[in-house]
């Protein structure tokens, strides 16, 4: 498959680097063609990506801003995000991509895509959500219910908690996050209880992502 991964990371932390790099490398190993889609003012490179496509619209960071500047920055980001969504939708309509992945999303991103033509994409669009708490899970669940009518919008919650959401939805998937083999040994034994540790490895995670894209994923694939 030709998979586009949208990357907008103003500040790379170790986990963000790890997760994007894992998606690129492991999906490439499975024979998929990976292209990175980034804002016009961003440069990035990950081993295994075929090419990098710059989208019109600058990335705006509000991390260092405060007060009115923070609000203006967020508004600018909102306009840019809608533009990126539209350009990715156009790429799918031109048959340039078979799937699109947003490695980092929150409920605001999920809400925003519902206002864009990307919601009607003819190819699967995956949104990965991380570090969910009980409160943020409810917000994600609410957006997932609204998205249920759009068959190709798929939210992927990375969690060890199989009971984080009140019910199963067609648009909402839960799966274990990827873990490097060396890190499994230092994890809390309570988290690992009842889990096949091989399912946590990057190659197993990439297989699950592939199954979600192909609509072959079930609860037993965790």
pLDDT digits (tens, 9 = 90+) for 52-77: 999 999 887 655 556 787 788 778 88
Question: Could you tell me if 30 and 23 are in contact, meaning their C-beta atoms sit under 8 angstroms apart?
Answer: no
The region of weakest confidence among 44-53, 81-90, 122-131 is 44-53
pTM for this model (two decimals): 0.93
Percent of the chain with pLDDT over 70: 93
Q: Residue 121: exposed, middle, or buried by beta-carbon count in 10 A (0-12, 13-18, 19+)?
A: buried
Give tens-digit pLDDT for 107-130: 999 999 999 999 999 999 999 999
Q: What's the mean per-residue pLDDT of the chain? A: 91
Q: Is the pLDDT of residue 36 over 60?
A: yes
Q: Is the pLDDT of residue 218 over 80?
A: no
Report the alpha-carbon distance of residue 58 to residue 54 in Å, rounded: 10
Report the alpha-carbon distance of residue 116 to residue 216 in Å, rounded: 26
According to DSSP H, which parts of the chain are helical? 14-29, 67-93, 107-113, 134-147, 181-184, 189-192, 202-213
Question: Could you tell me if 155 and 140 are in contact, meaning their C-beta atoms sit under 8 angstroms apart?
Answer: yes
């Amino acid at each position: 498959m030709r998979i586009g991964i949208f990357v907008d990371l103003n500040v790379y932390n170790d986990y963000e680097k790890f997760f994007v790099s894992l998606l690129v490398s492991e999906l490439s190993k499975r024979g998929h063609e990976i292209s990175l889609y980034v804002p016009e003012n961003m440069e990035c490179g990950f081993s295994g990506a075929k090419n990098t496509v710059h989208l019109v619209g600058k990335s705006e960071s509000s991390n260092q801003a405060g007060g009115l500047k923070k609000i203006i920055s967020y508004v600018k980001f909102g306009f840019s995000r809608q533009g990126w969504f539209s350009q990715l939708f156009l790429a799918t309509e031109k048959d340039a991509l078979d799937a699109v992945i947003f490695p980092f999303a929150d409920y605001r991103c999920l809400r925003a895509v519902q206002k864009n033509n990307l919601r009607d994409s003819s190819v699967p669009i995956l949104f990965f959500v991380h570090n969910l708490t009980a409160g943020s899970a409810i917000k994600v669940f609410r957006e997932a219910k609204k998205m249920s009518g759009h068959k190709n919008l798929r939210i992927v919650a990375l969690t060890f908690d199989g009971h984080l959401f009140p019910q199963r939805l067609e648009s909402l998937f839960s799966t274990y996050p990827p873990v490097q083999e060396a890190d499994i040994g230092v994890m809390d034994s309570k988290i690992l209880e009842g889990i096949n540790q091989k399912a946590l490895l990057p190659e197993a995670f990439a297989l699950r992502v592939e199954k979600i894209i192909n609509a072959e994923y079930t609860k037993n694939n965790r």
